[in-house]
């Protein structure tokens, strides 16, 4: 599959910039989430079961141990990005964050960090901290969970923030020169292909450097799982995801880097759609769509041109 020929994928972007493969290592910083602990809300986002994307065992290991444990299992990479992924990875005092982030950056062969958080959980002092690492020559990505730009849906899925909050955070982060990667979900309750396109347009208008797209995964333990079991929530089909995500990618300018274009999970955590149990099912279908109907930027008349290798 020649996905790198039709989409500006992060792996290809890193390869071009570093001249070698760079791999993202996922970390658990022991953080919580303000949308779960009662600070902003309880119960969390209705699609969320943190256990489906975070390895909870890792929270008992130091950052150095987590990195060392993964380096050995990664093939062919000699450079790494430390990815603070679990929960809200800016949700602590700045001094605590600095200690954790520095512990990652101090490891050999780490070229930078990616920090996943909520738009309402990135105060200026945290952004300044991250910008400071960037000034030291590290690559830094602020990964913001937005999921949709539609306030009605954000309220419905209990995100606890609106699009204006996201736009403000992006503006502050990019003013400091930080790279922003925004996470979006296709298939949220009540949303159509038009809503997804509108979300993309609003995110592009706000300014963004990277995108992560994934289908709505219905996972055990989430609020949505109950609605799905009760027959009140339809699952996203492979064809539906491919058509919507394909159009979003075709409407994305070529310089924007896709950190992800699909996602998978394993049963029994994954309840539906079961085509998401296999990582390659969605990836292959999306590649076929992009290959035949046009790749990234094609709908804008500026198709992605992969650099000659």
Instruction: List residues near ligand SF4 by CB under 6 A.
Output: 33, 35-36, 44-45, 48, 50, 87-88, 118, 145
Nearest distance, CB of residue 252 and ligand SF4, angstroms: 23
Cβ proximity of 104 and 61 under 8 Å: no
Concatenate the DSSP letters of all residues of 59-74 into one string.
Answer: GGS-HHHHHHHHHTT-
Nearest distance, CB of residue 159 and ligand SF4, angstroms: 7
What is the C-alpha separation between 182 and 33, in angstroms, rounded? Answer: 18
Output the CA–CA distances (angstroms, integers) from residue 91 to 25, 84, 96, 120, 123, in the order listed: 20, 11, 10, 10, 10
Residues in the chain: 309
Nearest distance, CB of residue 87 and ligand SF4, angstroms: 5
Tell me which residue of 169, 180, 106 sits closest to 141, measured CA to CA: 180
- When CB distances to ligand SF4 are compared, the closest residue is 44
CA atoms within 13 A on the CB side of 242: 20
Nearest distance, CB of residue 157 and ligand SF4, angstroms: 9
Nearest distance, CB of residue 151 and ligand SF4, angstroms: 16
Q: Which is nearer to ligand SF4, 36 or 251 (CB)?
A: 36
Nearest distance, CB of residue 217 and ligand SF4, angstroms: 11
Peptide bond into 111 cis (omega under 30): no
Cβ proximity of 29 and 83 under 8 Å: no
Q: Which is nearer to ligand SF4, 118 or 179 (CB)?
A: 118
Q: Which is nearer to ligand SF4, 36 or 79 (CB)?
A: 36
Cβ proximity of 85 and 54 under 8 Å: yes
Q: Which two tokens stand for residue 41?
A: 């809300």
Q: Which is nearer to ligand SF4, 92 or 105 (CB)?
A: 92
Q: Which is nearer to ligand SF4, 88 or 252 (CB)?
A: 88
Q: Which is nearer to ligand SF4, 161 or 179 (CB)?
A: 161
Q: Helices 238-250 and 193-206 meet at what angle, rounded to 10?
A: 30
Cβ proximity of 133 and 140 under 8 Å: yes
Q: Which is nearer to ligand SF4, 118 or 250 (CB)?
A: 118
CA atoms within 13 A on the CB side of 255: 5
Residues 6 or more apart in contact with residue 9 via CB below 8 angstroms: 3, 257, 258, 261
Nearest distance, CB of residue 158 and ligand SF4, angstroms: 8
Nearest distance, CB of residue 49 and ligand SF4, angstroms: 8
Q: Which is nearer to ligand SF4, 7 or 121 (CB)?
A: 121
């Amino acid at each position: 599959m020649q996905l790198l020929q039709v989409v500006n994928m992060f792996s290809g972007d890193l390869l071009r910039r570093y001249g070698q493969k760079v791999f993202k290592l996922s970390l658990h910083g022991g953080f919580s989430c303000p949308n779960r602990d009662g600070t902003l809300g309880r119960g969390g986002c209705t699609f969320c079961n943190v256990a489906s994307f975070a390895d909870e065992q890792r929270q008992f290991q130091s950052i150095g141990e987590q990195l060392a444990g993964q380096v050995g299992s990664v093939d062919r990479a000699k450079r790494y990005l430390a990815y603070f992924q679990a929960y809200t990875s800016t949700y602590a005092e700045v001094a605590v964050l600095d200690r954790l982030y520095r512990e990652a950056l101090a490891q050999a062969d780490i070229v930078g960090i990616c920090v996943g958080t909520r738009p309402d959980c990135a105060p200026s002092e945290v952004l300044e901290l991250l910008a400071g690492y960037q000034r030291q020559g590290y690559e830094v990505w602020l990964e913001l969970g937005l999921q949709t730009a539609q306030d009605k849906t954000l309220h419905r899925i209990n995100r606890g923030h609106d699009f204006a909050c996201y736009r403000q955070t992006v503006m502050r982060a990019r003013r400091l020169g930080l790279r922003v990667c925004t996470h979006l979900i296709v298939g949220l309750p009540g949303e159509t292909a038009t809503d997804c396109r509108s979300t993309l347009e609003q995110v592009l208008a706000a300014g963004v450097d990277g995108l992560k797209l994934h289908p709505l995964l219905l996972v055990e333990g989430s609020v949505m799982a109950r609605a799905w079991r009760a027959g009140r929530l339809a699952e996203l089909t492979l064809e539906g995801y491919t058509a919507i995500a394909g159009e979003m990618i075709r409407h994305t300018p070529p310089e924007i880097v896709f950190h992800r274009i699909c996602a998978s999970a394993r049963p029994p955590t994954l309840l539906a759609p079961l085509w998401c149990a296999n990582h390659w099912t969605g990836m292959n279908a999306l590649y076929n769509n992009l290959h035949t109907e046009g790749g990234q930027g094609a709908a804008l008349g500026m198709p992605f041109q992969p650099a000659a290798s």
